[in-house]
Amino acid sequence: MKLTGNWNYPTSVRFGAGRIAELADAVKSAGITRPLFVTDPTLAKLPIVARALEVLEAGGVPAKVFTDVKPNPVASNVEAGVAALKAGNHDGVIAFGGGSALDAGKVIAFMAGQTRPMWDFEDIGDWWTRADPKGILPIVAVPTTAGTGSEVGRAGVITDETTHTKKVIFHPLMMPKVTICDPELTVGMPKSITVGTGMDALAHCLEAYCGPFYHPMADGIAIEGIRLVKENLVRAATNGQDLEARAHMMSAAAMGATAFQKALGAIHSLSHPVGSLYDTHHGMTNAVFMPYVLVFNRPAIEEKIVRLAAYLGLKPEFSAFLDWVLKLREETGVPHTLAELGVDDSKFDVMCKMAPKDPTAGGNPVPLDEAVCRKLYENALAGRL
């Protein structure tokens, strides 16, 4: 292993119950005076959005709400957001919600002053240097789920509807200036969303840890994130009012996104085509693929997983960790097969071409190709470990 790497760590994070009360101050500290408040249409109807807008109004920060955001954001959502931002003469964005609203809000702020098409800034090589940094507006991020960790990330995932592919738009200045992590905002989240987002956080930590690159700081963050998931996801899913469990899951989500600057892998590269073609929940789809990818990667990761199992208080064996993952999925109601997600084999040919080309595929510890991906899709459809 070559002992070199480029390492970056998160933005300013205001963490704790009730800290949404600081939203106006956070917006001002980011240099924003007229924010566009980006959220999704379901969340916009809930009291937590009304509360956030009240805090802004009381703090003298006028905001307009934009809600044209799909669960898997598409290019037209970003285009509409940029148009709304310019029409309202806004000078920054509050990205408020789950991964979809956070990603859409960040990319809207990024595209506000760009002249090139959005796909020119896909996370490929140094394409991010094509952007005009002066055209990127500041962002304040407020997560309401504990999964993607997009609130501490420098990218947004947007679906290209013409090709049905998820693309990662990246720029270092897409990192939010301030993030408010208030676990009270996640209280009342439906169990399925708690589980799906929590499993997404686990997938981020796990794939980062298993990645083949040198990044010991990311490894340390990842294994502690996995421990937090192990001790708190079932609690949060069982009792949505358990604020301590929700707080730890919110930390795990941010830790996963911090760690995965090292790598993601086959869990994500297999999941992205499914999400694009079937519009499944991203975190839940990751959860379905997790054990199949673990078994496939075993020759390359067994030593790491044995160490991880010991850290988690499990028997220091690969099988003990795999058994824990399977038990966690069962306890939280994660489907065991793709069929249970409503996915069949009719699009396998397309998916097997998409998965190895996904930007996350290169971080898998075992190389991926179309034949490997087909085998993994078939295993996940049939439930074969």
% of residues, the chain, pLDDT over 90: 94
Distance CA 140, CA 180 (A): 8
- Measured in degrees and rounded to the nearest 5, phi and psi for residue 287 equal -65, -35
Global pTM exceeds 0.75: yes
Kindly report the length of the chain.
385
Segment 281-330, tens digit of pLDDT: 999 999 999 999 999 999 999 999 999 999 999 999 999 999 999 999 99
Task: State percent of the chain over pLDDT 70.
Answer: 100
CA distances from 68 to 39, 82, 99 (A): 8, 11, 14
Place of tokens 């294994």: 223
* DSSP β-bridge partners for residue 278: none
Mean pLDDT of the chain: 96
Which of these ranges, 184-193, 336-345, 374-383, has the smallest mean pLDDT?
Answer: 184-193
Q: How far is CA 283 from CA 115, 132, 267, in A?
A: 33, 33, 10
User: Would the pLDDT of 192 be above 90?
Assistant: yes
229 within 8 A of 286, measured Cβ to Cβ: no
Over residues 200-247, the pLDDT tens digits come to 999 999 999 999 999 999 999 999 999 999 999 999 999 999 999 999
Q: How far apart are the first and last CA of the chain?
A: 29
Q: Hunting for tokens 């916009």 — which residue is that?
A: 44
| Model confidence at 58: pLDDT above 80 | yes
pLDDT reading at 35 higher than 80: yes
Q: Residues 2-17: pLDDT tens digits?
A: 777 777 788 999 999 9
Q: How far apart are CA 380 and CA 288, in angstroms?
A: 7
**DSSP β-ladder status, 165-170 and 155-160:** antiparallel
The answer to whether 282 and 198 have CB atoms below 8 angstroms apart is: no
Sorted by where each starts, the structural domains of the chain and their CATH numbers stand as 12-185 (3.40.50.1970), 189-382 (1.20.1090.10)
Q: 87 pLDDT band (50/70/90 cuts)? A: very high
Distance CA 356, CA 371 (A): 10
Helices 370-382 and 266-278 cross at an angle (nearest 10°) of 70
Q: What confidence tens digit (pLDDT) does each residue in 111-133 have?
A: 999 999 999 999 999 999 999 99
Question: What are 152-176's pLDDT values in tens digits?
Answer: 999 999 999 898 888 999 999 999 9
Tokens linked to 167: 């693309």
Q: Is the pLDDT of residue 45 over 90?
A: yes
Q: Please compute, for residue 381, the number of CA atoms within 13 A of its CA located in the half-sphere on the CB side.
A: 15
